[in-house]
Structure 1
Amino acid sequence: MMMKMPLRVHLIAALLICYVLLICALEHEEGKGEELQSPEKDVGNSIKVRRNDTTANDGKPKAITPRKKVKKTGSKKASVGSRSDISCTKLGGICQPSRYICQGRYLKDKCSGAKTRQCCMPVGAWNILCAGHHNNRVRACDVHGCGAFNSRRGNGLHKAVDLVCDDYGIVNTPFSGSLAGPVSRKDPAGNQYDGVKLLNDVHCVKIFNIRPYRYIGPVSQGEALGYLLPLQDRFSGITSHLELQMCDSTDPSPFI
């Protein structure tokens, strides 16, 4: 019995020691857990503080930045004055809708109203050039060629119209305008032809084989412009004529 008592005491003491060690270990683990949880609490508190700050700032009136005023500049349409039919009638034309047939050709921007109204320049709108003749007769073919526009001339085409006139006969102004100086040209054979340039705001022509009374200044339609130079001394058998050429080499036939 005496031997069993010390064993029991030792066993109880060992159990007590184990119990104490277990309690110490548990307390140590709880201390670590509190240290780990404390930063999270601080973070949560800081988040709450920031939220409170933002809510506090939301309550304050925000500063409004003034907007720059942009001036609206409306495009002002320039008032365009109505055109007059005088620009057409003074040239001998008639203002009419372009869908109508024109015995000649139409000129744009010469009539009032809609753009479809154009100036019809009839055939023969120009004055008769050669005095003593009833019309502007185009030179027919002879031994030296033909006088119609685009007729064959050597290796090229005749970009003018030859009108039959009498030697030294008076040549009249076909339309009102201004004389713009002397002109001359040479054919492939080297023959020179002299004349004068006549123009206005619509037409521009060169008239060859004539001697004008003057080379500069205004002239009126039908006014004596000069006289025809003879061609028989240089071209035997040729029909006496003047040469009428548009400055842009187009056909003057619709106007004569």
Structure 2
Amino acid sequence: MLLGFHLAGTTLLLCYVLLSCASEHDKRKGVIIQSPSKNADGAISVMRNDAKADDGRPRAVARRRKVKKAGSRRTNDTGCTRLGGICQPNRFVCQGRYLTDKCSGPKTRLCCMPVGAWSVLCAGHYNNRVRSCDMHGCGTFNSRGGLNRTVDLVCADYAAISAPFSGSLAGPVSQKDAAGFQYDGVKLVNDEHCVKIFNIRPFRYTGMVALGEPLGYVLPLQEHFAGITSHLKLQMCDGTDPSPFI
């Protein structure tokens, strides 16, 4: 009887040991099975990171190509720069004067010429002095209620007039004032400036002239306007104010 109980206990103990070994084996197997999945996730994660890195590289290349393409645009502003100006949008302030058709690109890009004084026009004067007000009016631009589109420079009757800049003579010009009096003169142009000089008797009306070369002489005004300050008249061909250049 005791032997039977002993055998039964031994059998139960053996079964318990076998079951324990089987359970431990299953756990180890589960770990082994799960490990590749973790590695797979890691591999997937790495692959995704690599994919992101690969996706970033083409975009960087595309940006570089775009910048290179934008930088390859060429401008031709030599018409402005050879005159000493700079091309810029016309919304910017120009201390001198804007010239048209000298810059490439949109029409809003204009050539800004710096303020550069012309040479003295009237012989015997050290500067170009604007006529002040007298009994017949004033010589500043837009005086007389905006009707005066010229600038009057003080100059004695019959005084010699010199070219304020080098250029070419472009024929005779004339202008009538509000009273009907006619002023005659000549047009002087170059790549930068175009000006009409009135109330002078030109020596000639065509041909090239150099800076300071005699153009003619001032006509007297006293017999028509007693007490007026003797002067010549300057008018820009486009109607703008010539004051920055004199």
Give the Å deviation of 1:240: 0.8
Equivalent in the alignment of 1:145: 137
Q: Which amino acid aligns with 1:203?
A: H
Q: Separation in 2 of the partners of 1:105 and 1:224?
A: 26
Give the Å deviation of 1:217: 1.1
Q: Which has the higher helix share?
A: 2
Equivalent in the alignment of 1:185: 175
Please state whether the residue corresponding to 1:211 is helix, strand or coil.
strand
Q: Separation in 1 of the partners of 2:218 and 2:82?
A: 30
Taking the TM superposition and a 5 Å limit, the aligned residue runs for 1:116-127 are: 120-127=112-119
Equivalent in the alignment of 1:233: 223
Q: Specify whether residues 194 and 109 from structure 1 end up closer, same or farther in structure 2 by C-alpha distance, changes over 3 A only.
A: closer
Q: Specify whether residues 135 and 207 from structure 1 end up closer, same or farther in structure 2 by C-alpha distance, changes over 3 A only.
A: same
Equivalent in the alignment of 1:247: 237
Aligned mate of 1:160, from 146, 150, 153 = 150
Please state whether the residue corresponding to 1:249 is helix, strand or coil.
coil
Give the Å deviation of 1:136: 1.3
Give the TM-score normalised by the residue count of structure 1. 0.57
Give the Å deviation of 1:249: 1.4
> Share of identical aligned residues, percent?
69
Q: RMSD over aligned Cα, in angstroms?
A: 3.2
Could you list the per-position Cα deviations for residues 194-246 of structure 1 after superposition, in whole angstroms to 9, with x for gaps in the alignment? Answer: 10111223322111010111001111222211111111121111111100011
Q: Specify whether residues 124 and 238 from structure 1 end up closer, same or farther in structure 2 by C-alpha distance, changes over 3 A only.
A: farther
Q: Which amino acid aligns with 2:190?
A: N
Whether 1:84 and 2:78 are equivalent positions in the alignment is yes
Larger Cα-atom Rg: 1
Please state whether the residue corresponding to 2:244 is helix, strand or coil.
helix
In structure 1, the gaps of 5 or more residues are 1-78
Give the TM-score normalised by the residue count of structure 2. 0.59
Q: Separation in 1 of the partners of 2:137 and 2:108?
A: 41
Does 211-220 or 168-177 show the bigger shift?
A: 168-177
Taking the TM superposition and a 5 Å limit, the aligned residue runs for 1:16-165 are: 82-84=76-78, 87-88=80-81, 90=83, 93-95=84-86, 103-107=95-99, 120-152=112-144, 157-165=147-155
Contact 1:177/1:218, CA 8 A, preserved across alignment: yes
Q: Separation in 1 of the partners of 2:238 and 2:110?
A: 21
Q: Which amino acid aligns with 1:135?
A: N
Q: Separation in 1 of the partners of 2:191 and 2:102?
A: 11
Contact 2:88/2:112, CA 8 A, preserved across alignment: no
Equivalent in the alignment of 2:192: 202
Q: Specify whether residues 96 and 188 from structure 1 end up closer, same or farther in structure 2 by C-alpha distance, changes over 3 A only.
A: closer
In structure 2, the gaps of 5 or more residues are 1-72
